[in-house]
Amino acid sequence: CVDCAAGSITNTGTGAGATTCLECAAGKYSTTPPATACSDCDKGMYAAADGASTCMPCDVSKYQSEEGKSYCSECAAGSITDKGSASGATTCTPCAAGTYSEASNVASCSDCAAGSITNTGTSTGATTCTVCAVGKYSTASNVAACTSCAAGHYVEATGSSKASDCAVCRQGSIT
């Protein structure tokens, strides 16, 4: 008698009289022979093909939230995995309002610099920051839009981060 190789089980499972070895289906594995059943890959892991003897961790920026799967899903920009820049993630979470990620393979979402806002305003999942235009400022990055200087005031630079950056217009000029 010969044991079935890792990645397969007998056609009778735990019973005697087996005549063939059956490969474990994708998403499942078996290790040291003689295995009586194939096991599901854990969350954060996958087995892409039939006959796996081990499961592989999801690549960086990918995740798998279920057991027994043959693939991992891509975590989109504007979110990060629970493992950050490591493999084997089980969840994908949108960046909080005011923070962003251009890619999901980073350890954490980043704050926008003072004087800028995210492309999603007060919502989660931002992928970029936008600098406030001339004549506007922002004290926080998790607001819907940059704030215009008060009437009769201006700021000549982009990326202003406070109302006090807005100067009074000189006599004879308007905003």
3 state DSSP class of 163: helix
Q: Of the candidates 113, 74, 81, 114, which has an alpha carbon nearest to the alpha carbon of residue 95?
A: 81
Question: CA 78 → CA 81, 106, 123, 125, 145, distances in Å?
Answer: 11, 11, 11, 4, 18
Report the sign of the C-alpha dihedral through residues 52, 57, 60, 61, in that order.
positive
Least confident interval from 30-34, 149-153, 158-162? 30-34
DSSP label at residue 167: E
In whole angstroms, what is the distance from residue 29 CA to residue 3 CA? 16
Residue-wise pLDDT tens digits, 101-138: 998 888 899 999 889 999 998 999 999 999 999 999 99
Residue-wise pLDDT tens digits, 56-84: 999 999 999 999 999 999 999 999 999 98
- Phi and psi dihedrals of 24, rounded to 5? -65, 140
Q: Of the candidates 145, 143, 170, 142, which has an alpha carbon nearest to the alpha carbon of residue 156?
A: 170
Residues 6+ apart with CB under 8 A from 8: 21, 22, 23, 24, 30, 35, 51
Tokens 């954060």 belong to residue:
44
**Residue 175 banded pLDDT, cuts 50, 70, 90:** low
The mean pLDDT value of the chain amounts to: 90
- pTM of the entire structure? 0.75
| Residue 17 pLDDT | 74
| Residue 19 pLDDT | 84
